Amino acid sequence: MSIEENSTLEKKDFGIKGFLFEIFDLLVYALIILSITYIILGFVEQRTDVEGSSMNITLNDKDSVFVDKISYRFKDPERYDIVVFKFLHADDTYYIKRIIGLPGETVQIIDGKVYINGQMLTDDNYGYADIDRPERAVNPITLGEGEYFVMGDNRNGSTDSRFSSVGNVQREQIVGRAFMRIWPLNQIKFLKKDINNRPQE
């Protein structure tokens, strides 16, 4: 075999090896991307679709939101956060509501208004109607450690902590905080706690 033939053969071998290395690199990159996606969807954030009208006017039926699943690992949920939580009485059922009462507080509904520790909640501009049905909150409800009282913004069209089927929401039920509406496209926005600017009808 001549020197020229050897050289040609080595070039061909290098070309095949180079191709295989490129395929290997692509597979590694794909695996990294899939791993990052899995981590993000599993532990950082997820997309959730809204069903029903219980959060009108803030969120509407068929809206899609991003849920932040990591913040509550470092801080406690706050009043007026919109949270997604697991419904304990049905598998794979989740609710989206707004936090109204915090651990250790006493919640009561009197004459259609929410009272916290005996004081009317005056900065709650999210619920746009007086409450017709206080249900269990007609009497004072004292929240235990790690318990939250949640309500839908559509106060008269929401099944929430007022009802015994939902009751007080435990911290471990909460999946995360809804922080951004991503659908419909013409209504994309961050879901900020702006108590002075309630969504307009």
Least Cα distance to 189 among 54, 5, 64 occurs for 64
In sign, the C-alpha dihedral spanning 69, 46, 191, 118 is negative
Residue 178 DSSP symbol: E
Cβ proximity of 47 and 62 under 8 Å: no
DSSP states along 94-119: EEEEEEEE-TT-EEEEETTEEEETTE
The CA distance from 99 to 123, in Å, is 13
For residue 72, the SS3 value is helix
Cβ proximity of 142 and 106 under 8 Å: yes
**56, 59, 63, 64 alpha-carbon torsion, rounded to 10°:** -150
- Tell how far CA 69 is from the center of its chain: 7
Selected catalytic residue, list 2, 53, 62, 97: 97
Selected catalytic residue, list 54, 69, 158, 161: 54
Identify whether 97 is a catalytic site residue: yes
Q: Which residues are catalytic?
A: 54, 97
